[in-house]
Amino acid sequence: MIGRLNHVGIATPDVEKEAANWARIYGAIDAEAAFDLPEQGVRVKFVNLPNGQLELIQPLGDNSPITKFLAKNPAGGQHHICFEVPDIIEARDAMIERGAKVLGNGEPRIGAHGVPVIFIHPANSGGVLVELMQEPEGH
């Protein structure tokens, strides 16, 4: 079973500009320092909320998974939502058993929170790309 909603991923050409835009439009935001995640091909900037996070992501490198998304949505847009699961391997196997399509080679990768993640094809979830992440320690 999926757990807590952890974050909403928003693709943007520039995480700093987008964070500044959110601050301008919504008032003060608790934004963290941006960092590169070369294995995932993205630069990430988290905005902390009382009950979760926004994950601003911009392409990094030539084979970024969000380059195509931004080609279709040049100004950026909502890219994925992420739920926590207690055990990523168990969750992956259960998803496959239920007929879901796990993206990539099916092996979890280390995501922006330093814990393993997988992505589920949007066709399995009403057109929404879903990220499942192993619950961080201490939750």
131 labelled catalytic = yes
SS (H, E, C) 41-85: CEEEEEEEECCEEEEEEEECCCCCCCHHHHHHCCCCEEEEEEEEE
Least Å distance, CB 136 to Co ion, is 13
Residue the block writes with tokens 């439009």: 25
Phi and psi angles of residue 22, each rounded to the nearest 5 degrees, phi first: -60, -40
Residue nearest to Co ion (CB): 9
84 binds Co ion (CB under 5 A): no
Query: Which CB atom, from 18 or from 131, has the smaller least distance to Co ion?
Result: 131
Which residue in 43, 55, 66, 120 binds Co ion (CB under 5 A)?
55
Q: In whole angstroms, what separates CA 9 from the centre of its chain?
A: 4
CA distances from 91 to 35, 76, 108, 122 (A): 28, 30, 11, 17
Query: Which of 42, 60, 82, 95 lies at the binding interface for Co ion (CB under 5 A)?
Result: 82
Site size for Co ion, by CB under 5 A?
Answer: 4
85 binds Co ion (CB under 5 A): no
Which residue among the candidates 16, 131, 135, 137 is catalytic per the annotation?
131
Could you list the residues that contact Co ion (CB under 5 A)?
9, 55, 82, 131
Residues assigned a catalytic role: 131
